[in-house]
Structure 1
Amino acid sequence: MQEQRRGRRIAMTAEEVDAFLAEERTCRVATVGPDGPHATPLWFAWHGGALWLTSVVRSRRWADLRRDPRVAVVVDAGQAYDELRGVELRGRVEVVGEVPRTGDPVPELEGPEQLFADRYTGGAVHHDGRHAWLRLVPEKITSWDFRKLPG
């Protein structure tokens, strides 16, 4: 993974990144399509050093990622300037499991699916036959925490 070059003074540690991604609920996913960039909000799970996304397979995002798996994802928080913090993850996504997901046993998905269900659906894992899983193992992580700025 590439090391963060700029803003290292306010960068989060690996532990802080893990904690931040475990607590925040929404990310913004940027893909590249034939008409240019496309950004959409999604729920996610951070599990095993990877960002797990579930996407409708009949969506512009899915079509973009099947054509070009490169993605940038941002998770951020804070209102006031001195509260702002976030993480940008870049890399290539890969499909895990069946497309669309119907519930066939996929050991790799047990952890992310349960984490996702605990976070968003009261613990019940649902397979609606419309979504499929994408895994992003980041090639680069950039983070910032303005709370670390000198007073």
Structure 2
Amino acid sequence: MPEQRRGRSLAMTGDELDTFLRDRPVCRVASIGPGGAPHTSALWFVWDGEALWLYSITRSQRWTDITRDPRVSVIVDDGGADFRSLRGVELRGAVEMVGEAPRTGAPVAELTEPERLFAEKYSEESELRYDGRHAWLRLRPETRVSWDFSKMRTG
């Protein structure tokens, strides 16, 4: 993955980025809509240290967009009460569908870890419950940009 060129002094370290992505509850996924117009939607996700896993409704505009063009930009951020509390990550790349769509629970080795992480993050269950409406998308970021304005020097 190419190194972040701008704002390197504000960038998160690898460990900071992993912790940040594991702790945040919601991301915003920007897909390419009809006619090239951007479409942005909020979504729950999990980070496994290498890929961002999105559990998307298969009958959504986001899913329709991604089946037409898998390129996305995903923002995960927090803060904003004051300038120095702004932190975030933008991940860009192409998503890939993993497992059946919609997901019904057929064994898929690649989904064991993301489904465990998802169940632990969003419920008190140890296993994900399948509703026949969602499916998995995996984003292995091609580009990653992060910022943590608490690292900004004071003059």
TM-score, reference length from structure 2: 0.95
- Consecutive unaligned residues in structure 2, runs of 5 or more: none
Deviations 1:94-131 (A, max 9, x none): 00000100000011101000100111021241110000
Instruction: Report SS of the residue matched to 1:95.
Output: strand
Q: 2:110 aligns with which of 108, 117, 120?
A: 108
Q: 2:135 aligns with which of 132, 136, 143?
A: 132
**Structure 1 runs of 4+ with >6 Å offset:** none
Residue number in structure 2 paired with 1:65: 66
Residue number in structure 1 paired with 2:145: 142
Between the aligned partners of 1:48 and 1:73, the Cα distance in structure 2 is 16
1:42 aligned partner, one-letter code:
L
Percent identical across equivalent pairs? 59
Displacement of 1:83 after TM fit?
Answer: 0.7
Superposed, which structure 2 residues align to 1:1-151 within 5 Å?
Answer: 1-35=1-35, 36-78=37-79, 79-123=81-125, 124-151=127-154
Between the aligned partners of 1:2 and 1:128, the Cα distance in structure 2 is 38
Contact 2:18/2:49 (<8 A) preserved: no
Count of residues in Structure 1 that have an aligned counterpart in Structure 2: 151
Displacement of 1:48 after TM fit?
Answer: 3.9
2:131 aligned partner, one-letter code:
D
- 34-43 or 85-94, which deviates more: 34-43
- 61-70 or 77-86, which deviates more: 77-86
Between the aligned partners of 2:56 and 2:17, the Cα distance in structure 1 is 23
2:65 aligned partner, one-letter code:
D
- Consecutive unaligned residues in structure 1, runs of 5 or more: none
Displacement of 1:15 after TM fit?
Answer: 1.0
1:24 aligned partner, one-letter code:
R
